[in-house]
Amino acid sequence: MTSESMGWWGVLLGVSAGAVRGGTPFLLVSLGECLTEKSGKINLGLEGTLLMGAMSAYAFSYKTGSPWIGVIAAGIAGALMGAVHAFLVTRPKVNDIAAGIAMLIFGSGLAFFLGKPYIQPSAPQLSPISLGGWSDTAQIQAALKISPIFFLGAGIAFAMNWFFRSTRAGMHVRAVGDSPAAARALGISVERTRILSIVAGSALAGVGGAHLSLFYPGAWTEAISSGQGLMAVALVIFSRWNPVHCLYASLVFGGAQAVGPALQAVGVSTGYYLWNASPYILTLLVMVATCSPKRTLVGAPGALGASS
């Protein structure tokens, strides 16, 4: 490998590579949340689902020696968490925010409890897809080793967009989210649509966890998600319930996460707490910039948060 220094190019490389590396969990969780919210329910528990996914992926990869079985296990664990949440919130008069917070605490507690034996061992990791063969710079080659989960997520983002726009099932999800009464009048089962959306959304969040434990940073620890699941929920609002926008927003958040370390590596060491907070500051700024007192948020499902 070359050991030359990259200087300020390193900051640019770090932030753009960090956008993909660090943005992938945001992407999967926000897509899951987007699908859930489109059906008219909120799932704040995806932070717990992300942790369950990360833990299951690591445990299964370690036990079976195959990281892809880990990814599948993460999806199943996520779906199971989603099934519990879906069962709760489709009961009459259950508040989905409260149920979500309960699921968040339950999911992280369960992941920490079941994950105790897997903190120390090293599990086989997902092999990256290398796009940097054209470059002879070690740094660029390393930056272009991209997680397969990222491609999966990016593909799902476009597919989901098409699903909402052009398919019958997608229209049903939107109808249920916008006006459950009208959907019911059309003969669509509100409950069934919501359960399926929540379960599928949680499965996506679980797969996002697999990226954390099996690719980057590539370990199972209790601090692995550190709030990313919650930020992803805000990210859905930020991207106006549009799956493709979720992809862009995730990249921005992932990149913002990398700004602090990348700047310190070139010797800009003042204000690193501020830089580390940049993803959150960014969220606030976008929220302030796009809010309007005159109308509700464009794209928000009509029945979101209503207890029907």
Partner 1 sequence: MKHVFTAILIAMSMAAGLVTQAAEKEVTMGFIYVGPKDDYGYNQAHSEGKAGVSQLPWVKSVEEASVAETAAVQETMRNMINLDGATVLFPTSYGYFDPHILRVAKQYPKVQFLHCGGLYTEGKHPANVGSYFGYIDEAVYIAGIVAGHSTKSGKLGFIAAKPIPQVLRNINAFTLGARSANPKATVQVIFTGEWSMPVKEAEAATSLINQGVDVLTCHVDSPKVIIETAERRGIYVCGYHANGAKLAPKGYLTGAEWNWSKVYTTYAEMVKSGKTLAAGTIPHLVRGGLKEGFVKCSDYGTAVGDAAKKDAEAAKSKFMDGSMVIFKGPLKDNAGKEILPSGKEYKQQDLELESMGWLVDGVVGSTKS
Q: Which residues bind partner 1 (CB under 8 A)?
A: 1, 3-7, 10, 13-14, 17-18, 21-22, 112, 116, 119-120, 122, 139, 142-143, 212, 216-219, 221-224, 226, 228, 257-258, 260-262, 264-267, 269-273, 276
Would you call 203 helix, strand, or coil by DSSP?
helix
Q: Which residues contact 8 (CB under 8 A, 6 or more apart)?
A: 266
Q: How far is CA 215 from the centre of its chain?
A: 15
Minimum CB–partner distance for residue 263 and partner 1 (Å): 9
DSSP-assigned letters across all residues of 26-38: HHHHHHHHHHHHH
Would you call 77 helix, strand, or coil by DSSP?
helix
Nearer to partner 1, 223 or 288 (CB): 223
Minimum CB–partner distance for residue 95 and partner 1 (Å): 27
Minimum CB–partner distance for residue 262 and partner 1 (Å): 5
Minimum CB–partner distance for residue 129 and partner 1 (Å): 15
Q: Which residues contact 144 (CB under 8 A, 6 or more apart)?
A: 17, 130, 131, 132, 135
Minimum CB–partner distance for residue 272 and partner 1 (Å): 6
Neighbours of 23 (CB within 10 A): 28
Nearer to partner 1, 26 or 238 (CB): 26
Would you call 145 helix, strand, or coil by DSSP?
strand
Nearer to partner 1, 40 or 209 (CB): 209
Nearer to partner 1, 76 or 219 (CB): 219
Nearer to partner 1, 86 or 146 (CB): 146
